[in-house]
Structure 1
Amino acid sequence: MRNNDNDGRPNPWAEPPHWRTGPAWQERRRGPRRLGIALAVACIAGLALLALRPELLIDRLAGKAEALRHTAGAPPLAVESVRPTAPPPMAPDEPTLQEPFRGSPALQWADGAAGIEVPEAAATGWMSKEAVADALEKTKRFLVAANLDPATLRGERPADALALLDPQQPEIPQRLEQYLTKPTEQDTPVTVFTRFDPAEAKPVGDVVKVRGSMRVEKGEPGEVLVVTDYTFVHPLTKGGTSVQRTIVRRQITLALLDPVRWETTRGRLQLREYHAEWSNVECSAADGFLHPQFPQDLATGPAATGPAVDPYDRSAGGVRGDGCGTITRS
């Protein structure tokens, strides 16, 4: 992959851009105290990027923003109702400040929160249609607050996302607080929240492209699970004319519990499982931020040793296991 540096001349990468994942972990399911609190939080992986303007986020939440089209007559893709069977086709064009999604399959994806479409609710298990609709809407709000909120993206505390989570869930509130206040390479907030150092990179334009799916599954009696799988594409610049795209894929399962049957805070979500993969970022970071790669940067941290992968290929069942490799495009 090649890109132009500030004077417009081609400049090769010091090494190929990376994808990164993190160590998997899972907490034990706790038995009921007669009711019961279930818990399972899983693995992580890595890719990244920057922020949106606050006024744009408001438009996205209201569903009023139109997708930006950089090619005439390019219709948006239909909602991803089933997992794709193959990666999208390759395109040779590179991004520019004027066309940050040129050459990317994300060009036809939806903008921001508009790409997180809530499916029609139906009664599931012991949950009424209204309870399921509540779980779906809160799940969307969590994903937006954790991955698109400008304050979260520029590294501030993800207050709106945290406010949706159940403070009574065992271990999770304490673990997330540790991630945010005392991050390490292993225990980092980017496993759940997309965060960047605003001194390192700036967004190109106002659009983050989003594509993915959300579905409801029957859980134990008195609970509903919302299973999500979304990819976020962020165009960034360090200044000059060089533009890079960072891609973040997150697979998150959230649960809404019936307080009559479970020990829970009414109306709050529990974080059951999360996996993440970040592409076009450094292989290692311990400061709680994702660090996008630019051609003019010297490679730092450990070298990529994993296989070359396509970060736009959503046909794979899940994110890759622990490690760091190279990507075929960004």
Structure 2
Amino acid sequence: MGWDYDGHDGGAQSPAARIASGAVGIVVAAGLAILVLRPELMPWRDAGDTSPLGAETERPSAAPSQEAFPDLPTLREPFKGSPALRWADGAAGIELPAAKATGWMSKAQVADALKKSKEFLVAANLDPAVIKGGKPAAALALVDPKQPDVLADLEKSLTAPTEENDPTSLFSRFDPKDVRQAGTVVKTRGRMTVEAGRGEDAGAVLIRADYTFVYPLVKSAPGSDEVTRTIVRRTVVFGLSDPEEFEVTKGRLAIWEWNANVGNSACDRNDGFLHPQFDSDLAADPDAEPAGPEEDPYDRSKDLDQLSQECGTVSRT
């Protein structure tokens, strides 16, 4: 399950059942035909390229290809069977474009703003303490306190989350009572661009970030070894205005817009945490599988506003 956010509102996705990989081969023994699982005898199974992908420099034209029978993730290989296997690890996946003078900002100022934008994304989505449910203090420290209401609303969302003001719209947080990370790696892919504002945004420089983060998770209960993944795609627009012309704090970021689509997180829980679902949950309670439009959380070819805003299903995790 998951949520789409446009600032503070959204829809959702939920996980589809997964099938263990393998192929049916025939072995004759003692005159009997015995069915055995033989992956190498499955000609239609495409194990796929596992080499690292280059940086994403523009919007992809299509979703990553899907295997007919993807491998299941394990504690040792939590990204097995996922396109994210080829993605960069953590902050290495947030590659910055070359800085150049834009609008009112010099090349050096743009470079500094890009650096701070990356710092925000890392603090909001990759900080192990935040992923474990902690407060994203480092991310909040980068937000301009002079931006009306935004910082106060974010602080309030962390102490008193609601459906309309949920911190997971901007921060990746899981309840440590329920789940923990499987390993220490979060896979990351996306891109960042810089442009001079136009129309009502004229006079500002806009940094647009569009990244997907893949979190492998296991239940917190001792001995748990079933791995699932939650996939979070976020777009954030940082607006930078000239401090000589506008009342802004030099060196801080103004967040003008943020959106998120979350694959595999409960639709109906608004307690400030993401709540992934496991296959064993569905086996124990088949009614927990929601109906709704199916989407691929790894598909980065569409704008977030093109995706369904209602609770639905994901085609893979």
- The alignment's TM-score, normalised by the length of structure 1, stands at 0.77
Q: Does the alignment pair 1:133 with 2:111?
A: yes
Change (3 A) 1:157 1:229: same
Change (3 A) 1:154 1:301: farther
8 Å CA contact 2:234–2:260 kept in 1: the answer is yes
Cα deviation, 1:149-196, whole Å, max 9, x if unaligned, reads 112111111110000000000111121122111111221111111111
Which residue of the other structure, out of 275, 281, 304, is the alignment partner of 1:318? 304
Secondary structure at 2:153 match in 1: helix
Secondary structure at 1:324 match in 2: coil
Q: Which amino acid aligns with 1:310?
A: D
Cα deviation, 1:129-148, whole Å, max 9, x if unaligned, reads 11111110000000000000
Secondary structure at 1:151 match in 2: helix
Q: Which amino acid aligns with 1:180?
A: L
Distance in 1 of aligned mates of 2:118 and 2:90: 11
8 Å CA contact 2:190–2:212 kept in 1: the answer is yes
Q: Which runs of 4+ in 1 moved over 6 A?
A: 300-303
Secondary structure at 1:245 match in 2: strand
8 Å CA contact 1:113–1:148 kept in 2: the answer is yes
Q: Which residue of structure 1 aligns with residue 246 of structure 2? A: 262
Change (3 A) 1:261 1:117: same
Q: Does the alignment pair 1:192 with 2:170?
A: yes
Q: Unmatched 5+ residue regions in structure 1?
A: 1-17, 25-40, 49-70
Q: Which amino acid aligns with 1:216?
A: V
Change (3 A) 1:141 1:94: same
Cα deviation, 1:241-276, whole Å, max 9, x if unaligned, reads 311111000011012222101110111000000000
Change (3 A) 1:207 1:277: same
Cα deviation, 1:260-315, whole Å, max 9, x if unaligned, reads 01110111000000000111111111211111111222569987343111111111
8 Å CA contact 1:43–1:273 kept in 2: the answer is no
Q: Which residue of structure 1 aligns with residue 209 of structure 2? A: 228
Q: Which residue of structure 2 aligns with residue 96 of structure 1? A: 74
Which residue of the other structure, out of 100, 105, 108, is the alignment partner of 2:86? 108
Q: Does the alignment pair 1:19 with 2:19?
A: no
Cα deviation, 1:89-118, whole Å, max 9, x if unaligned, reads 112211111211111110010000000001
Q: Which residue of structure 2 aligns with residue 119 of structure 1? A: 97
Distance in 2 of aligned mates of 1:207 and 1:96: 13
Percent identity, aligned pairs only, is 51
8 Å CA contact 1:282–1:300 kept in 2: the answer is no
Secondary structure at 2:100 match in 1: coil
- The alignment's TM-score, normalised by the length of structure 2, stands at 0.81
Q: Which residue of structure 2 aligns with residue 87 of structure 1? A: 63
Number of residue pairs aligned between Structure 1 and Structure 2: 274
Q: Which residue of structure 2 aligns with residue 250 of structure 1? A: 234
CA-atom RMSD in angstroms: 2.3
Distance in 2 of aligned mates of 1:210 and 1:235: 12
Q: Which amino acid aligns with 1:85?
A: S
Q: Does the alignment pair 1:78 with 2:54?
A: yes
